[in-house]
Structure 1
Amino acid sequence: MRPGKLIIEIKGPGTLDALSQAALGSRLQARIETLAVDRNDVVSKGDVLGRLAFDELAGGLAAAEASAHASERAVDTAGAERDHALASLDKARATHERQVALVAKGVASQAGLDDAAAIFRQAQADLVRARRAIEQAEAEREAARARIAVARAQLDDSVLRAPIDGIVISRTHHPGEVVAPGSEPLRIADPTSLVLNARLDESAIASVQAGQLAHIRFSGFETPINGHVLRLGREVDEETREFELDIALDRLPPNWALGQRGTVRIEVEERPDVLTVPQTPGTPRRRTRGLARAERAGRWQAVTLGSAGGARVEVRGGLEGGDIVLAPEGLHPFMRLRVADSTP
């Protein structure tokens, strides 16, 4: 054994997830008219992926537009009536002022003045009524415009557009089927946002930092994929006492699927000049891990192990540099051994 570099690693399970994904559906019950994409199709933001049939909404939009046109004409009519009331009020005011002057000079009767005052008050009331009619017509016009906006928004919902760049990962319906509010006929994920959502025991939270090198191995794939710690979760599960973290991948496996299971090894520390042995060294005796040493004729030797990294584990006590460690299988105490000459 010779001291060497040991990279301390923390290992944990995880599942593949996408930070950027979107579901396409309907807020109303509708029939699927067309679906232009299927699973694994690549789409760009804004692409039309399908259409929903909303026949009754088209009629509602037409009715709202007709109501808006009628309310516009009502506003114009009320405005004309207001102008007429203003003109009548100006005339009634002038007549009343003239009658007041004539009565003061004694050339007009009080009855004429009373008639002029009544006409003036009526003209004022007509103007107030005309202004209220304008306000009501304008309110009806705004309500009609709001109904148009709602109808157009609902009709726009009938067109399924890609909200992000990505790949169609799920298609659960077909043309002709009726979708309920909240259902998701299509789901899209951006492959550039894929991460391994890993879980580690809370005891490791002090050792893990963003940017640390990671090695990910997915089930069914022999070759590991490199990556790095992207971000740490800030919540520990109360039952499992685990926290989550996202691992960014340098590349994706040839075939991938959201929810795919993997295992991550995170390099958290590098230690130089450390004695190490394979991860599964020796055999236990009286609950103590031990190894066979050639210098002692294969005698069992208790060892103290430390941190692990890769396929090796740190030896903190029981061995020294230069010791020859033997695999324990097939050995017994005081067995005669011969060390082979390693000289070429």
Structure 2
Amino acid sequence: MNVKPGLDPFLLLDAPVPRPRRRRGLRLAALVTAALAIAFVGLRYFYPHVVEGEVLRPGILDIELQGPGTLSALSEASVGSRIQARIEELAVDRNDVVAKGEVLARLAFDDLSGELGAAEASAQAAERGVSAAQAERDRATATLEKERATHERQVALFAKGVASTAGLEDALAARREAEAELARTGRAVEQAEAERDAAIARIAVARAQLDDSVLRAPISGVVVSRMRHVGEMLTAGSDVLHLVDPASLVLTARLDEGAMSAILPGQAARITFSHAGTPISGHVLRLGREVDEETREFEIDIALDALPANWALGQRAMARILIEQRGPVLTVPTSFLVWRDGRPGVWVASRARARWCEVTLGEAGMERVEIRHGIAAGQNILKPGGLYSFMRVRLAGPVT
């Protein structure tokens, strides 16, 4: 050890040692911890927290059934070609509104006009043939009447002994020849009439084919799809356009077969489409009479009171059907239920403190559930979320 000159090293050993600062740090930490604990306790149990909730009051409970569905139409039609032809003109496109009988497309079929003209010419020639055959038959009829009268006169004269046997036989032969000629002309008339009818039928076929070259709307509605373009060659049976009557649109919903006895035509319904949050009202139109063997579901058609601004066939939606209304009863939103050990309960505000109360549930709707025992009317019920027992709360107002 190096010691400055003039200093006694033993005196250095007896000098006082400075007090460490660690104790003051511990005291400060203890004070901070205590302050934080007090602040935590105060914040947790004495500072009022604003909580959403509502006052429990009796009301009407809507008992509803819910099921998915798709938008379909009761009146729709596909417009297609009945002949092989090329599309010459398309007068409409998707989303166009059309009236029944309106021209939608025209097909080019060059041979149709020629076939119709030939059929009309054949019909005119056949009509003239019928007239000529009828004239021949009329002449044969007149000849037969003449020969019949001559034969009858020869018979009378032969009976008086005036006419000869040869004259009688000649009269009979002439009569029979006239009868044969009348029969022949009659068959000629029938053949001419058959040819005329065949020509008229060919005219009808040609006109029908000519009409088939003009595609018209079979129903009034909206063009929802167009499968072909101008210039394309069509075969018989090819679809060109698809029409839907918007007034016939329904939501075809699927429900479990166990709900079949609860569904009746006319029941009120609410439909929520995937792209629109506002429900659309409607009513049950009819029930299906088949149950899917795999899913054990049956279908119902729901008529809509209005259509969404944008709609499409096959669009998905969720349907809620009102099957019963009960009340007045005490109900809480289903989102307010909190389960503990398999027991249902709700948070209530008692003397500005949060408290969980076990309840007995009754009938349930889609959004609210009946409370039969456990809490009473007038109590403030709280929306769960961060609540704990004895938490100081202040009700913010009803939940929207």
Does the pair score TM above 0.5? yes
- 8 Å Cα contact 2:330/2:370 also seen in 1: yes
Judged with a 3 Å threshold, the aligned counterparts in structure 2 of structure 1 residues 126 and 40 are, in CA distance, closer, same or farther, namely same
What is aligned with 2:249?
194
Q: Distance in 1 between matches of 2:354 and 2:336?
A: 18
Q: Distance in 1 between matches of 2:110 and 2:146?
A: 55
- 8 Å Cα contact 1:304/1:318 also seen in 2: no
What is aligned with 1:307?
364
Q: What is the letter of the counterpart of residue 365 of structure 2? A: A
Give 1:280's match in structure 2, choosing from 300, 323, 335: 335
Note the alpha carbon deviations across 1:303-335, whole angstroms, 9 max, x for none.
Answer: 4353214x2122345554455545554456xx4
Give 1:82's match in structure 2, choosing from 137, 153, 158: 137
Q: Within 5 Å, which residues of 2 pair with 1:56-75?
A: 56-75=111-130
Note the alpha carbon deviations across 1:241-271, whole angstroms, 9 max, x for none.
Answer: 2222222222221111111111111222111
SS at 1:263 equivalent = strand
- 8 Å Cα contact 1:28/1:180 also seen in 2: yes
Q: Within 5 Å, which residues of 2 pair with 1:129-148?
A: 129-148=184-203
What is aligned with 1:93?
148
Q: Distance in 2 between matches of 1:107 and 1:342?
A: 139
Q: What is the letter of the counterpart of residue 163 of structure 1? A: P
Is 1:11–2:85 an aligned residue pair? no
What is aligned with 2:315?
260
Is 1:126–2:181 an aligned residue pair? yes
- 8 Å Cα contact 2:335/2:383 also seen in 1: no
Q: What is the letter of the counterpart of residue 390 of structure 2? A: R
Note the alpha carbon deviations across 1:216-239, whole angstroms, 9 max, x for none.
Answer: 111111222222222322333333
Q: What is the letter of the counterpart of residue 244 of structure 2? A: A
Q: Distance in 2 between matches of 1:23 and 1:284?
A: 55
Q: Distance in 1 between matches of 2:395 and 2:300?
A: 50
Identity %: 61
Q: Distance in 1 between matches of 2:153 and 2:295?
A: 95
Q: Distance in 2 between matches of 1:245 and 1:125?
A: 74
What is aligned with 1:242?
297
- How far off its partner does 1:287 sit? 4.5
Calculate the TM-score normalised by the size of structure 1: 0.89
Rg comparison, structure with higher value:
2
- 8 Å Cα contact 2:112/2:206 also seen in 1: yes
Is 1:336–2:390 an aligned residue pair? yes
Judged with a 3 Å threshold, the aligned counterparts in structure 2 of structure 1 residues 341 and 250 are, in CA distance, closer, same or farther, namely closer
What is aligned with 2:21?
none
- 8 Å Cα contact 2:88/2:230 also seen in 1: yes
SS at 1:275 equivalent = strand
What is aligned with 2:157?
102
- 8 Å Cα contact 2:357/2:375 also seen in 1: no
What is aligned with 1:218?
273
- 8 Å Cα contact 1:293/1:301 also seen in 2: no
What is aligned with 2:106?
51
- 8 Å Cα contact 2:361/2:369 also seen in 1: no
Give 2:166's match in structure 1, choosing from 86, 90, 111: 111
- Can you give the 5+ residue segments of structure 2 that lack an aligned partner in the other structure? 1-55
- How far off its partner does 1:202 sit? 2.0
Aligned residues: 340
- 8 Å Cα contact 2:343/2:358 also seen in 1: no
Q: What is the letter of the counterpart of residue 326 of structure 2? A: R
Q: Distance in 2 between matches of 1:211 and 1:263?
A: 18
Judged with a 3 Å threshold, the aligned counterparts in structure 2 of structure 1 residues 225 and 29 are, in CA distance, closer, same or farther, namely same
- How far off its partner does 1:114 sit? 1.2
Give 2:77's match in structure 1, choosing from 3, 7, 22: 22
Give 1:165's match in structure 2, choosing from 209, 220, 223: 220
SS at 1:83 equivalent = helix
Across the aligned residues of Structure 1 and Structure 2, the Cα RMSD in angstroms comes to 2.6
Calculate the TM-score normalised by the size of structure 2: 0.77
Q: What is the letter of the counterpart of residue 118 of structure 1? A: A
- 8 Å Cα contact 1:305/1:317 also seen in 2: no
Give 2:96's match in structure 1, choosing from 36, 41, 55: 41
Q: Distance in 2 between matches of 1:89 and 1:62?
A: 41
Q: Distance in 1 between matches of 2:81 and 2:120?
A: 24
- How far off its partner does 1:294 sit? 5.8
